[in-house]
């Protein structure tokens, strides 16, 4: 059995020698065959030269380098393409993920039958400005995805080979690989408490914007997982409800006016009532939602992967 360790990195030249030595010690001690797939995400600090030198000492190293910085999701996606192992481990290059966790993660995949095991940094060495938003983000991700993990964004994860060869990671969706995997039909998702190391070198590559982009990405992946192949079921339902609501209110206002005229009682003009314009607005929004669903359905039916379904096994 071969274990592939996929490590995307950006400007981590100080950490790479220690990380590589640490991985080699752990894998040798546990008699695990392995490869390390470094993905240099356009580093400008000499990280690639460090990897080239490490390759001379450690033959297990494989690496690729982007021409510019594309982001962690791109690095993981290309790393997954290159990985040849039966079990794939992902971890960060900043020494905050401990290689000592790898043997147990591998065991959980091979012996307990998990498709994916995510690390949980239960005790973190981060400032409160990072830990509090992270807790809120993880709470929202659990509620929306139905996957009860404590730490979606932990870089230390383990996968069966089938998982990483069946999914595509793009944009900034690396935070939601468990959601993408569940969407693809891999439902046995586990969790393991892992050590969180204090950063020894460099600075974090993620800013406050991830707490804004993260929830937006979660909305996208949730919508795509539920309605990606049938968008009319979302837009059409809400569009129809909005249109019927607006139509019902307009009809009621008009009937009220007709009844008042028949009874020769005084009533406000329909067009003088704010509720009438709210009803018209609801009908317009309903029509737009319905048309959006119709157009989305046409696009989905024209998509080249409209019949791309995950097949687990076949019998001929």
Same domain, 49 and 112: yes
Q: Which of 179, 198, 227 corresponds to the end of one domain?
A: 227
Higher per-residue pLDDT: 233 or 62 = 62
Same domain, 259 and 272: yes
Say which CATH number the domain at 193 has: 3.90.550.10
Q: Residue 151 — very low, low, confident or very high, per pLDDT cuts 50/70/90?
A: confident
Judge whether residue 258 has pLDDT over 90. Answer: no
In a domain, 313, yes or no: no
Where in the sequence is the domain holding 12, given as residue range(s)?
A: 2-227
Q: Which of 23-27, 265-269, 307-311 has the lowest mean pLDDT?
A: 307-311
Same domain, 125 and 198: yes
d(CA 204, CA 10): 10
In a domain, 118, yes or no: yes
> Helix 232-262 vs helix 210-227: angle between axes, to the nearest 10 degrees?
90
Q: Which of 206, 227, 248 corresponds to the end of one domain?
A: 227
pLDDT of amino acid 17? 94
CB 75 within 8 A of CB 41: yes
Q: Residue 155 — very low, low, confident or very high, per pLDDT cuts 50/70/90?
A: confident
Same domain, 9 and 142: yes
Q: Which of 72, 9, 75 is nearest to 44 (CA)?
A: 9
- Give the model confidence (pLDDT) of 163-189 as tens digits: 998 888 877 778 888 888 888 889 899
Provide mean pLDDT across the span 146-174: 86
- Give the model confidence (pLDDT) of 27-77 as tens digits: 999 999 999 999 999 999 889 999 999 999 999 999 999 999 988 889 999
Provide the sign of the torsion angle of the four alpha carbons 24, 26, 31, 34, taken in this order.
Answer: negative
Same domain, 191 and 244: no
Same domain, 238 and 206: no
Q: Which of 227, 251, 285 corresponds to the end of one domain?
A: 227
In a domain, 315, yes or no: no
Judge whether residue 278 has pLDDT over 90. Answer: yes
Same domain, 270 and 222: no
Judge whether residue 314 has pLDDT over 90. Answer: no
Same domain, 113 and 168: yes
Share of the chain above pLDDT 90, in %: 44
Provide mean pLDDT across the span 119-136: 72
Q: pTM to 2 decimals?
A: 0.73
Residue 205 tokens, joined:
């590559």
Provide mean pLDDT across the span 107-131: 82
Same domain, 194 and 278: no
Query: For the chain, how many structural domains are there in total?
Result: 2
pLDDT of amino acid 7? 95
């Amino acid at each position: 059995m071969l274990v592939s360790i996929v490590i995307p990195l950006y400007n981590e030249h100080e950490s790479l020698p220690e990380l590589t030595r640490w991985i080699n010690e752990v894998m040798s001690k546990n008699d695990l065959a392995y490869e390390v797939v470094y993905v240099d995400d356009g580093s400008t600090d000499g990280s690639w030269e460090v990897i080239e030198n490490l390759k001379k000492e450690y033959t297990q190293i494989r690496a690729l380098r982007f021409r510019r910085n594309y982001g962690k999701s791109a690095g993981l996606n290309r790393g997954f393409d290159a990985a040849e192992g039966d079990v794939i481990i992902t971890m960060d290059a900043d020494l905050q993920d401990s290689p000592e966790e790898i043997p147990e993660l591998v065991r959980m995949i091979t012996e307990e039958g998990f498709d994916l095991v995510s690390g949980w940094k239960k005790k973190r060495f981060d400032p409160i400005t990072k830990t509090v938003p992270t807790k809120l983000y993880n709470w929202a991700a659990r509620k929306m995805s139905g996957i009860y993990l404590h730490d979606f964004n932990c870089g230390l994860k383990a996968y069966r080979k089938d998982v990483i060869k069946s999914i595509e990671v793009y944009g900034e969706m690396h935070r939601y690989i468990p959601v993408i995997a569940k969407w693809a039909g891999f439902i046995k998702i586990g969790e393991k408490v892992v050590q969180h190391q204090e950063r020894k070198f460099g600075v974090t590559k993620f800013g406050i914007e991830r707490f804004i982009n993260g929830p937006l990405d979660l909305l996208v992946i949730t919508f795509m997982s539920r309605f990606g192949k049938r968008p009319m079921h979302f837009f059409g339902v809400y569009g129809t409800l909005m249109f019927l609501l607006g139509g019902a209110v307009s009809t009621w206002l008009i009937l009220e006016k007709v009844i008042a005229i028949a009874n020769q009682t005084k009533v406000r003009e329909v067009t003088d009532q704010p509720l009438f314009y709210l009803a018209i607005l609801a009908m317009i929004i309903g029509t737009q939602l319905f048309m959006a669903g119709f157009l989305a359905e046409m696009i989905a039916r024209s998509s080249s992967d409209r019949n791309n379904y995950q097949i687990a096994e076949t019998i001929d």
